[in-house]
Chain A
Amino acid sequence: MTAPTFFKMEKINKYYQMGEEQAHILKDVNLSIEEGEYLSVLGPSGSGKSTLMNIIGCLDVATSGRYTLHGRPVDDMTEAELARLRSAEIGFVFQNSQLLPRLSAQKNVELPLIYAGVGPRERRRRARELLERVGLADRMAHMPNQLSGGQQQRVAIARALAGNPTLLLADEPTGALDQKTGRQVMALFRELNDEGRTVIMITHDMNIAKNARRVVHIIDGELTEGGDATDA
């Protein structure tokens, strides 16, 4: 063993209390990812894919099982430790870009860095660099409502990259976009993966999932390998 485990889930189970009944959302999920992979988690709504994403994203912890991210066991972390882990390791991209309406594009990108305690000058430099990277060099001072849906999503991607995370986690990133813009955003993810970033994409759309180099299916809380999507 030279390098620590990058991403490994073993026998992850998640139960939710729904009134009297206990819902078994995730059933013995096993998943290993190498650094630099591009993975899609494909599943219909209600399959448990959002729950899986929350656990992968360290927003939630499993009821049982072991989850190791970048060599660190996540299972018994406190809320504050999870927050620090998210800040350092994970970049989120949500379905509707979730930009703060009162902050400019640049300030939105700076947001994770504020919580990480990065100084203002370094923040600004990094935000500019990332907005340039996603092709929005001329939109830095724009407010979210002055940007198109695709542009907003690209700001969100820049924001996800701000903390230089090891893992980019996208939840239906094109769900709110038209096909053309959706393709542009997918191309951006591909580029980022080509640059060596690990990308996990959660989607219910087979066509979107096909962009990934590896697809896993989740149905009724059970995860199955779907093989190489490009071959399918």
Chain B
Amino acid sequence: MLRSIRSTFIMIGECFRMSLSNILGNRARSFLTVLGILIGVAAVIALITTVNGFSGSLSSSFSSMGAGTLTVTVSGSDLKSGLTTDDLTELTTLEAVAGVTPNVSLSARVSRGGSYETRISVSGKNSYYFRQNADLLTRGRTLNVTDEDNTTFACLISPDMVETFFYGVDPIGEKLYIDGIPFLVVGLMSDSGDASISGVMNGSPDILIPYTTAMKMNNSSVVTSFTTYLSEGWSSEAATDALEAKLDEMFSYEDDCYEIMDMSSIEDTMQNMLNMVSALLAGIASIALVVGGIGIMNMMLTTVTERTTEIGLKKALGAIPWQIQIQFLIESFLLSVIGGAAGIALGLMLSLILSKVMGTGFVISTFAILLGAGFSAAVGILFGWAPARKASKLNPIDALRSA
């Protein structure tokens, strides 16, 4: 028993050597044969690696814009159309909530007093917002609690606004008319603007004013949209529960008065979509693998026909059918795996270039490599099976006679 296992290993080792010399002895043909596998594996690897890098940078940009926040949109009930300033203050007393930023937006006619006037989206924020977005201010000052309490007419403007209204003039200390009301420009925003999810989804606002002032201009005493910043150590699920409990109480347990949007659930959805797309693309790419497998099968069938004499001879010299079969299987396996290895290298190179071009991260995916290697090995064995079987079934006499 042990002896026969040993001799099987010896035989298989020799098969590898002979197959390798056959493959290398016919370099051009071997290369063309494995080209299909090579392209297929390269495509699958490049796709998976690129999508992985993309989703990596997606989630990092998501976490920079929205990790640890919950965005609440209030539709209100008949009794209570939104949250008052006091309600917001009450929310901040929740353990889960570190702070609240109302989003009061209005579209206003903006001018510098002259005849030129344009509609601009204006956003009302509180001082907490500026604490959370510390790098928003480039010059001047932010809006503070005094501005909120006194509904001052102070504003911060974006570089776009500076260009539109204050070309060649230092805007700080200048006046800007918003719906006819003179506002004092107290600070300048950076170009990156609002990195929060509401900023990204609504487009960065060009003008920021105290939210209390914005509410007044809207003739409204309530806030219908705000962002909640979570306290350290709170998961968005737990915080959502806590927030829901409080809001339910505020709206007297009426249904459908508000909606809490959780950044991580949006990210999950997007990741799921991305994964689906990548699975679909990988599926399409794996058609190339199947085509490559058929190429190998075709090649192996030709090889079997060409080497009929060799097969007959080996049989005459005492090779058992399965030994012949395993030799051809090893050859197609090797061909395919060589193609697969080259494909992995090419695929990684491609995705490295792609990641540089698209500016996404480059993460070598072990899964993709294992998939590529496994798939090519499987293709080699699967598509090598029939030709190898054909070889092993050859009648040694017929095989020898064909010489």
Contact = CB atoms under 8 A, between A and B. Distances in A.
Interface stretch (B262-270, B310-318, B360-368): B310-318
Interface string B7-25: 1101100100010011001
Interface stretch (B38-46, B119-127, B395-403): B395-403
Interface in A153-178: 159, 163
Given A80-B320, A102-B21, 18 more contacts: A59-B397, A59-B400, A79-B321, A83-B319, A92-B316, A92-B317, A94-B313, A94-B400, A96-B403, A98-B309, A102-B18, A102-B22, A111-B314, A112-B318, A114-B14, A115-B318, A117-B4, A117-B11
Contacts of A192: none
Contacts of A163: 317-318
A115 B317 contact: yes
30 contacts: A54-B397, A59-B316, A60-B397, A79-B321, A80-B321, A83-B319, A84-B320, A86-B315, A86-B316, A88-B318, A92-B317, A94-B313, A96-B403, A98-B400, A98-B403, A100-B313, A102-B21, A102-B25, A111-B314, A111-B317, A114-B14, A115-B319, A116-B7, A116-B318, A117-B6, A117-B7, A117-B8, A117-B10, A119-B10, A163-B318
A85 B3 CA distance: 18
A121 to B, nearest CB: 11
B316 A115 contact: no
Given A115-B323, A118-B7, A98 B318 contact: no
B315 A120 contact: no
A150 interface: no
A44 B396 CA distance: 22
Contact of B316 (A57, A116, A119): A57
Contacts of A87: 317-319
A148 B403 CA distance: 19
Contacts of A54: 397
Of B21, B313, B315, B403, most buried by chain A (CB within 10 Å of CB) is B313
B318 A59 contact: no
A35 B25 CA distance: 43
Contacts of B400: 59, 94, 98
B10 A118 contact: yes
Contacts of A92: 316-317
Interface in A48-86: 54, 57, 59-60, 79-80, 83-84, 86
A79 B397 CA distance: 13
Interface string B370-403: 0000000000000000000000000011001001
A17 to B, nearest CB: 14
A111 B318 CA distance: 9
Interface string B333-351: 0000000000000000000
List of 9 A-B pairs having minimum Cβ-Cβ separation, nearest first: A117-B7, A87-B318, A112-B317, A83-B320, A115-B319, A114-B14, A86-B318, A59-B396, A80-B320
Nearest to A169: B316
Interface in A3-60: 54, 57, 59-60
Nearest to A100: B310
Contacts of A84: 318, 320
Of A59, A60, A80, A83, most buried by chain B (CB within 10 Å of CB) is A83
B104 to A, nearest CB: 82
Nearest to A94: B400
Interface in B294-317: 309-310, 313-317
Given A59-B315, A114-B10, A118-B7, A83 B22 contact: no
Of A96, A100, A120, most buried by chain B (CB within 10 Å of CB) is A100
A115 B11 contact: yes
